[in-house]
Each structure stands twice: as C-alpha cells, then as structure tokens.
Chain A
Amino acid sequence: MRKPIQPIPGQKPQRSSSHGWRYWLTRAFLSLLLVLAAWAGRWLWLRGTTPEPPSISTSGLDRAIAALVTQTENEIRSAPGSGAAWGKLGMILQGADFKVEARTCFSQAERLEPKEPRWPYFHGLLLQDESEAAIARLERAAQLCGDEPDTPRLRLAQLLAENGRFDQAERHFKELLRKRSDHAPALLGLARLSNARGRFEETANFLRPALEDVHTARSAYLLLANVQRRLGNETAAETTARVAATLPADDQWPDPYLLQTSRYQIGQQALVDRGVQLLKQGRIAEAVPTIDRVINEYPDSAEGWLLLGRLRLKQKDCASAEQAVRHHLRLDPRSANGYVQLGMARLCQEQYSAAAASFQEALQLKPDLGPAHFNLGFAQAREGKLTEAIESFRQAIRYNPDFVDSYISLADLMRQTGHKEEAVAQLRRALELNPSERRAKLLLERIQSR
C-alpha cells in the first residue's frame, strides 16, 4: 500500500490533478454553451412565436414615413422581443392612417410589455368601432398607469358614458376628481351623466366650475343652455347660448401619451395640415418654420407653395406671395383656389386689371366660386368698370347670399351710379343678415340723409 504523500512544511498543498485548469476550463466552456443555448432557445422561441411586422408596401408612401417605417421594421427584426419597437411602429402607422396594421403592432407590444400602459391605451383609441374591446384596453391602461397621466381613465369614462354604462363612467369620473377636485373634463362628464339621468339641477352644479376652464368652457356653456331651456328658463338659455357662440373651441386636455405620437406625424401632409391650422388660427410666427419645411423638404408640393403664398399675403409681402402662388400654379395649373390667391396677391399690389384676369381664370375653373366673383367685382370697381363690377357683386350674392360684404359693395356701386332705391334695398338685406353691421348702417344713413 502506498504511503499518502505528506505535505512539506511551508509549502502550499498541491491540488489534485482532477481539479486542475482543464477541469475549470471545461466547466467554463460548458457553462458558456448552456448560456448560448438558452439565449438561442429564447431567440428561436420569440422568433417562432412573434410574427413578422405587418407588411406595409412603402410605394406611394411619403418618403419620410416610408423611411421611418422601414427603419422601425428593421429594429423589430433585430429585436423581435422588444415591445418598445413594436409600439413605436404602431405609433408611426397610426399617424399614417394604417389603423389595422397599427392595431397589430400594439397587440404585440402589449404582449411583450404587459406592464406598459401606453400600448393598451393607443390600441383602445384605435378600436373606435368595437366598444367592448376598446373599453377593456382602456381599463387595462388606466390600471397600469395609476392615473399618471389621467387621460386613459378619462377616455375610459367617456367611452363608458357613450355606451350607456353610466354607473361605471361615474365611478371613473369621481376617481379623477378624488385626485384632483377641479378636474374640468371629469366635472363635464358628470354633468353629462346627470343630464342623461334627468337630474338637471345637479347638471348645472357640475357645470359651474367647468365654465371657467379653457378645456371645457364652450362645451359647458352649450350644455348649460340646454339645461336652462329644459328647466323652463328661456331667457337665461338664450343668453348662455349667445355666450357659447362667442367662445373658441375648447382646448385639448393635455395628453402626454398622445403627445409622444405627434412626433411620428411626419411627412408632407402632416406639415401642410399643421401649416393650414396655424394660419387659420393667426399664429403666423409659428406657421413660418412649418411652411418653410414643406417647401424645403417637398419642393414639388403644390399645396406647400399655395400655403407659402397665403402666408406671404398675411405678412403683406405681396410680391413674394405672387411668386409663391405662380409656383403653385405651375405645379397645379387647374387650381381654382390658386388663381384666387394670385388675384389677391395682384390686388395687394394694386394691379387691378391683372387681378381681375386671375379671378376670371378661377371662375373658368369653378363658376360658382363666390369669393372669386366678389374680388372680381372689387378689382373691376377699382378699374372704374362699374357695370361689370355690379354684375360681379350680383353673382357673388347669388352664390353666397350669406356674405354681407357683397351687399354693401353692391349698394355702394348702386349709390354711385344713381340707383338709390336699390342701394337701400341691398343695405337692408345686409342688415337682415347682420343687424349690427356698422358699415351698412353708416352707408344707409348717408344715402338716406341726401
């Protein structure tokens, strides 16, 4: 029998040869193999159970949108388990009006990131024609986000109310008020529920604070007018309705989730729509960079050049306006609106004969274009062609009998040409349309005093 090897004093004991470096190397190698196998297994499983991104043909799509779609599809392919990537694609497709495909993406995002409230929220908003499915998703979103933000619960409450589930809607509106006692849309929602239930005094009570909030004022006044009428108070109802008519549209309630989707509303049409909206609201300074982007990124956009022309007109830069509108007409020679804007740019530069020619071009394309008739009359009057101008204003009235200026302008020409009675008749028409129309009153007084 062999004697065991005795350790040498002062020397470290040697390891046995069975636990040497090969052992550990082998172990490490096997562990690595296991990890790789697990990763490969997960990747295969995800790939096997996660579908391909919805097939979107990018031909015909705005190139900015097409590029973003392609890029995001590639992100998904390289990380098929990424809920964020699926959600991002959903937001892009939603902005581009691919609703069915966006829903597919949001479904995947929900599956992969079940605790993310945005995905059921966006998905619920898309299910406009499937109320039960929408409600289920909004409920989930409200649960997950814990009312921060409050918009999932608010939308849920509104949808429940629309579907006649008043008790549930009420519960959610009250939950919003519990967290914020001056929550105007919740108050308005409760007011609508009370109204639906026939509790009109209660409706009026809920409405009072909502009348003061820019997000609900107009809607609240409109509902209040109806409630007052219903309670038999006609005078108050009329007054309230008149107030409501003077108020601007309610501001959108802030929705941080929807704000995230707005950065994916890209492309030419989104820019043009934004530009149109800003011009309509008189926000000229904000419109400038938007319209500049349209022109720079989409120089072949006929709409963009027309928008630029309108912007320049508002800025009183008439020559530039004409240039922009001419560019528009080169791209779209059959644009009636284009010829009207060209006429406006020429009027602005006091080129009355040229302006008249532009309006006549517009009328060739669209004979019932009231504004073209009116402005043609204006240009003709400036040229001294009163007979033609009178006929143009008559046509403007024929097509747009609600446009007060046509009557006043016609009346003035009638006065100038000695047809006093008809002038008076036209001014009376103007006052029938708008009893407080000052110019009509002044001109009428002037005629009648002679």
Chain B
Amino acid sequence: MNRLAVAKFSLCATGLLCLLAGCGKGSDGGERRVSDPAPGQQWFEEITEGAALNFVHHTGTNYFMPDQMGSGGALFDYDGDGRLDIYLLQNSGSGSQWINRLWHQEADGRFKDVSAGSGLDVAGYGMGVAIGDVNNDGQPDVLLTEYGGVRSFLNAGDGRFIDITQAAGLDNPRWATSAAFVDYDRDGWLDLVVANYLDFDLTQKCYDSRAAPEFCGPEQFPGLVTRLFHNLGGASGTGKIKAGAVRFEDVTVPSGLARAPGPALGVVCADFDGDTWPDIFLADDGKPNRLFINQHDGTFKEEAVMRGLAFNAMGQTAANMGLALGDVDGDGTFDIFVTHLTKEFHALWLQGPRGVFQDRMATTGLARQGWRGTGFGAVLIDFDNDGDLDLAFVNGLVKRDNGQRPLASGVNPFWIAYAQRNQLFANDRRGNFSDVSGENPAFCGKAAVGRSLICGDLDNDGAVDLLVTSTGGPAQLFRNVGPQRGQHWLLVRALDPGLGGRDAYGAEIVVQAKGRRWWRLLNPGYGYLCSHDPRAHFGLGEMSAVDSIQVLWPDGTQEDFPGGPVDRIVILRKGAGRIREAAPTALSAPDRPGNPKGAVNAARAPSHD
C-alpha cells in the first residue's frame, strides 16, 4: 500500500468518524453535549435573576480543603407567611466581609435580602444548615455547621435570630458538615445530630503529579465522631420554653455513636428497621457508611454491614457525599441514593425486605449514563407529578481536570477546572431511570462546582423547585415547569399542636388513592449540607382525588385523615384524625421477617406535657 493511498484512506476514515461522533468530544473523557430540549419536555427554567436572588459564594483559593467542600443552605418559612424563604452560607472565614444571607420571599415571588439585623448575617467557614424548632414555639430555628464548630440561632420572631450556642451547651469544635434534627427519644423535643468529617491538618500541603498545589483528599486524615445532642427541653415541662432555657446535652458517648467514628458528609434520620423509632444513617466519604439503629433506651447500635448499607454492590466503599431518600420502586419502603466520584458508580440501595437494603444501581438504568460526574447534593422528587420519584443531583469535581465545558456564568476562574454540569433522571414508575439531562439544558446545560441541591415548592403550585449552591459561584434558582396538564399533586404539612404547633419531624405520611399508595418522610434534614421544604410533596399522576391520608406520628401513634380533592396544600394536625389502634409496625412495612423489637414496642406518649 503506498503512502498516498494510506493518506487518502485516513482522510476518508477520519471524515466518517467525525460524522459519526459529531465531533463533539471534549478532552475530559467524552462528556456528551447537552442538546436543546424537545418542546414541552423541559422540567426547569432558571429564574435566579427574575427572583432577584443575588448571591455569589466566596471562598478561599489557596487549597484549604474546607474551601472546596461547602457550602449549603436552607429553604424554610422563617416568618410563617406560607412562603419559603432562603438562607445561604459563605465560606471565607470569620472576620471576612462575606456573610451568610437571609432572603425573604415577597408576595410577588421575588426575594428580598433581609440579612442585616437578622442575626444570621454572620461570617465563617460555613458548611451546612439544619432547621428545626428546638423550643417548641412553632417557629423554626437555625443550626449552622462550620469548619470548627456549630452555631445555634433561636427564631425570636419578626425576622430576628438570637445566637444561643453557648447558652444551649452546643460544643462541637470540629469540622461539622451536615446536620439534622430528630426526636430520637420521643420526648417531644427535637434533638440534634451533627455529622463531623475529618481531622483535617491544615499544616499539611498536598500536590498533584506535577507538583502543583491541589486539594488534599479525605484518605489522608482520620474520620471524626458524629455527635448527638439531646434536647433537655424545658424545666417547666410545658410545651414551649424561652430562649434562655434551651439546653442540649452531649450524649455522643453514652449513645454509642462515639464507638464508630468516620468521615461523615451526609446524614438522614428515619426509621430504617421498621420499629417506628428514628435511626441515623451517615454517608461516609471513602469509608463504609454507618447506620445507627435506635435501641429505644437512648443508645444506638451500628448495623450498616448487616443491613447492606455499608458498601456498594461490589462490596467496595465509595466516596459517599450527598444522599436522598424516597420510595423509588413504589413498594412502600423507602430507598436511598448516594452520590460518588466520577470514576465510581453512584449507589441506589433499594429496601426489601423491611430493614435490609441492596445496592441495585446496576439494574435501574443509572449505571448506563453516557457521562458520569462527581455528585454531591441529590434529591428524589416527583418533578413531573406523574406519580413516581425522579432523581436530580449536582456535580462538581474535587480534583481539577482540564476538560472543556460550557460554564455557568459567574464562576470564579479558580474553580473553572472543577466545574461539572448537573444531571436529571426520570423514573419509569418501576424504579428504572432514564437520563433526561439532555432535555433540560436550563438545569443541566452549564457547568459549575455544584454542592448543595435544595428542593421546595417556592410558589406553592405543586411543582417542586430547586435551589443550587456552588463553590465559588452564584446560587441558582430553578422553577419547575415540568408537570403536564392532568397530573395532580398534594403538599402535606404535619403539625403537632401539643408541641407548639411545630412540624412533626419524623412523621411518615401515606397517601392512598384507588389502591395506590405513596409514602413520604417528613424531615427536611437530609442531602448535602442543607435543609429542604419541610412539607411532603406527592405527585399523584392522574388521580383526581385521594381516598385517605395516614400519618404515623413520631411518637408512634397512627391517625387516619380523610382524603379529598387534590392540587392543594393540606395541613394535618395531630389529634384531628382518627386514631388507629397502636400498631407494632411502621405504616410502610409490608410483610416482613419477624422483628422482635418492633413487635414489642407499642407507641408511647411523649414524656413532656
């Protein structure tokens, strides 16, 4: 064969390959270009500017590890006007000009910066937020996690928050990440779980293979103990206490949590073993996950290995950053999704039988993504209200690469090499997912260093919206425009009048319609460094009415509420429903192997009164 012939052949072959490949490959390993959506298929539109949300995250750029791990935020209604407000964190250290910000949602849907004078306008190495009413006065309070500690702010009403950290006895002098409120001992007072990450040594410098500075990885530092703080409630025993009387006791050691340290990034509190008591799941970065099962006596026992949640399907540990919880296959038991690094598969643990989990990532379509990113915040929400839970997560690298990708505007140039685009997956009602990122350029088209993904129905239209935080970039707000005509919904809030009318964190809610059941957990504290809308959202497909709503309250009592029309916000109050006979098992438990603990434990009344 002569060289001319070789040259001609090569030219033709190259041309053909270009045609086939679309010549769209970047140098980052083949990321698919996001195409324009087909008409009517897009689920989100970005409304950041229109909503007047003007927040840019600031952090250092000298390879201080906490810089790249945060920060998060919260969607919560701090003033009780029925509209979700926003709290966003900065990560530039105390004394910095960049402060955390509180945004009030006005009647027209725009957000107004009300940080000044709120008490929440503080600077620090902000990591995450947990929202919960710690003094049972019906007003949500704020817990802020930071590199180096936590801060607790009591909602004093009229837009002010009071720092009660020291007075409340909350001492967590470590790198705190996610946090969640939970009433683990069912005494009616919200207790606090603070996930701690690494014993990071800031005097240790890390480099890449070209001796250029790079962020250190978690494998170089030991994990820390996750702390449990027991809310001592009010001495007077009434349902509400004054600011000065809020007190927590560190029960980390007696509870058993101190026996198993680890590098925790995500936390969720839910009933994992079907005995109606809340347990604690921690997503550990690069180490086996932990599941602390509530023993009902103030102690916990770690059982992640036995229950299948410690490792992925291949028996390996993975990065384990963000997590989302929901019933993806509609079998009445919740499942767990956890995000990992680009080179790893994310994990989707399906529950079955009750209390035992199995990573089924490989068989749910999620392993067949055309492109993988390093995932952080994740949510399982029915975005299109067709009756099954869809999946969204945000991506952002932890080690830089030089791939080219279209960037979200406003990303600090230092962080460009870490930016990745977000992803969206649609559920086919059987727990199988298909990648619809390509049809959603608004949410998935541009790259940023995604960290928290916070969900909530901002405009109360029954379609859950999204708030994204990014390292070194602007916060972005996405309005859900996905649901089609004829797809219905319910938004359910569950309150306990005996506890100051606060949200009943830990309540499990089941909506029934024409033989179908939808299960939701009411606790906004899950995900990555964030707190979500405390209301439970149900997409109901074509159901035009619901038959009943069942609530398993945190104290173990069960009530039935009547059904009724759809497409509305329902507020359920404990005591207003029809009480079911005390049942030994959780509402959502199908037939399952014998569980002596569950069988013995009947519902107990709260110890406060």
Contacts and interface: CB of A to CB of B under 8 A. Distances in A.
> Does A pair with B?
yes
Interface of A: 41, 44-45, 48-49, 57, 60-62, 96-98, 100, 128-131, 158, 161-164, 166, 188, 192, 195-196, 219, 222-223, 225-226, 228-230, 232, 234, 237-238, 241, 244-245, 269, 332, 334-337, 365-366, 368-370, 398-402, 429, 432-434
Given A96-B209, A368-B173, A195 B358 contact: yes
A398 B173 contact: yes
A401 B225 contact: yes
28 contacts: A41-B3, A48-B3, A62-B211, A97-B208, A97-B209, A100-B29, A128-B343, A128-B344, A129-B342, A162-B362, A162-B367, A164-B368, A188-B315, A222-B305, A222-B310, A222-B311, A226-B307, A230-B353, A232-B593, A334-B203, A336-B203, A337-B204, A368-B173, A370-B199, A401-B253, A429-B253, A432-B258, A434-B259
Contact of A226 (B204, B210, B308): B308
B315 A229 contact: no
B211 A398 contact: no
A226 B356 contact: yes
A3 B100 CA distance: 121
A432 B171 CA distance: 20
A399 B356 contact: no
Nearest to B403: A100
Contacts of A232: 593-594
Contacts of A370: 199
A119 B279 CA distance: 49
A245 B173 CA distance: 29
Q: Which of A48, A223, A399, A402 has the most CB of B within 10 A?
A: A402
B343 A129 contact: yes
B305 A433 contact: no
B433 to A, nearest CB: 12
A364 B103 CA distance: 38
Contacts of B342: 128-129
Nearest to B260: A402
A96 B353 CA distance: 46
Leading 8 A-B pairs by shortest Cβ distance: A164-B362, A232-B593, A128-B343, A97-B209, A60-B211, A229-B306, A60-B210, A336-B203
Contacts of B199: 368-370, 400
A241 B356 CA distance: 14
B537 interface: no
B363 interface: yes
Interface in B243-260: 250, 252-254, 256, 258-259
A433 B311 contact: no
Given A49-B6, A49-B10, A129-B342, A402 B306 contact: no
Nearest to A222: B305
B420 to A, nearest CB: 11
B313 A399 contact: no
B201 interface: yes
A301 B343 CA distance: 31
Contacts of A57: 210
A42 B473 CA distance: 54
B261 interface: yes
A369 B84 CA distance: 40
B353 A131 contact: no
A97 B148 CA distance: 33
Contacts of A399: 173-174
B38 interface: no
Given A230-B353, A432-B254, A366 B367 contact: no
